[in-house]
Amino acid sequence: MERRKEEPLSSQMKSKASNEAKQIEKPEYDGNFGTVISTGSTLLDLAISGGRIRGGGLPGGILVEVFGPSGSGKTVLLSEIAGNVQKQKGEVMFHDPEARLNQQFAAMFGLQIDEKNYSRPDKVTEVFETVRKWKPSNDKLINGIFTDSLAALSTSMEMDNDEGDPFGGRRAKEFSEGLRKTCRIIAEKNYLMVCSNQVREVIGATQYQAKTKSPGGKALEFYPSLRLEFSSPSKIKLEKQIVGKKQERIVGVETTISVFKSSIWKPFRKAVVSVIFDYGIDNLKDQLQYIKDNTENTVYTLNGEKLSNDLSKAISIVEKQNAENALREEVIDLWEEIESKFVQERKPKR
């Protein structure tokens, strides 16, 4: 299907501003969009900030919390982002309290683990102290700080006391203090700090209360510029005929990531993200599916040309043709076309 090329959404928003509208105070957004870091998923990049910069992505100078159930792909997302920071020549500091990151896993994302900038902290205070003391070699780039996960961090009280910190009050206080001192530094030094967190069920929650929460107290709801919520993952299955018999394997998971909170653009956008074991985020799969789902096409296509009815074959064709960039541009054009239909033209308030 041939679509009319339109001006990018970000340009439309600027060009449509009238003289009256210019007199209205514009919302103050967080983040430095001089350069952005990709999440590894074009659809997620767009959901995060597609209306501010073509293609979207993560700006420098912000704190990001990604939270959701176990096995939904949070560690993979952190590793994808960290690898992309290094691809843009930035440095990476990686806090790994659960000791889950290893060389083989990191290598999938082009992430080189530097012992100098890698640690396995036990306590909340250790994470924020290292951030404040960090001195990357090039402060003109986006340098990334990653913590996987916040839920694994403890306090001196919890570790030294037999009764621990039964109500979580001390940990919440240390998170609040650490974030208050550190977020200003993150913004000033243009760091990108991304932290993962778990979701825990709230026992006894009423119908008017949240059924789940991410550990760390209210500070982790307040201080991040961006909070990304992972849904419960669904399994990605692969079937093959082998020696006349159908064989099936689980090869990955698919999750919907929602922009739960955002002060860098609009919240509540969503993106479907596929994570393939021993590969990471399958951006080609998700982009081809997005085009098929949002056009009249009944097969997988690229710029209107039929590729295949089979998704795996369509992916293979894109890779063989080295057409990854063409596919990405088509997805961005389609996303901007759809999003532009929801731009509301309203008379400015007096």
Residue 165 has pLDDT above 70, yes or no: no
45/153 same-domain check: yes
Average confidence (pLDDT) over 212-232: 84
Q: Into how many domains does the chain fold?
A: 2
Spell out the SS3 assignment of the chain: CCCCCCCCHHHHHHHCCCHHHHCCCCCCCCCEEEEEECCCCHHHHHHHHCCCCCCCCEEECEEEEEEECCCCCHHHHHHHHHHHHHHCCCCEEEECCCCCCCHHHHHCCCCCCCHHHEECCCEHHHHHHHHHHCCCCCCCCCCEEEECCHHHCECHHHHHCCCCCCCCHHHHHHHHHHHHHHHHHHHHCCCEEEEEEECEECCCCCCCCCCEECCCCCHHHHCCCEEEEECCCEEEEEEEEECCEEEEEEEEEEEEEEEEEECCCCCCCEEEEEEECCCEECHHHHHHHHHHHCCCCCCEEECCEEEECCHHHHHHHHHHCCCHHHHHHHHHHHHHHHHHCCCCCCCCCC
161/180 same-domain check: yes
Please report whether residue 326 resides in a domain: yes
264/286 same-domain check: no
| CATH code of the domain in which 233 resides | 3.40.50.300
pLDDT band for position 28 (cuts 50, 70, 90)? confident
229/304 same-domain check: no
Domain final position from 274, 301, 329: 274
321/230 same-domain check: no
Please report whether residue 34 resides in a domain: yes
Please report whether residue 5 resides in a domain: no
186/313 same-domain check: no
Residue 140 has pLDDT above 60, yes or no: yes
Host domain of residue 111: 30-274
pTM of the model: 0.87
258/168 same-domain check: yes
Domain final position from 233, 255, 274: 274
pLDDT above 70 coverage of the chain, percent: 84
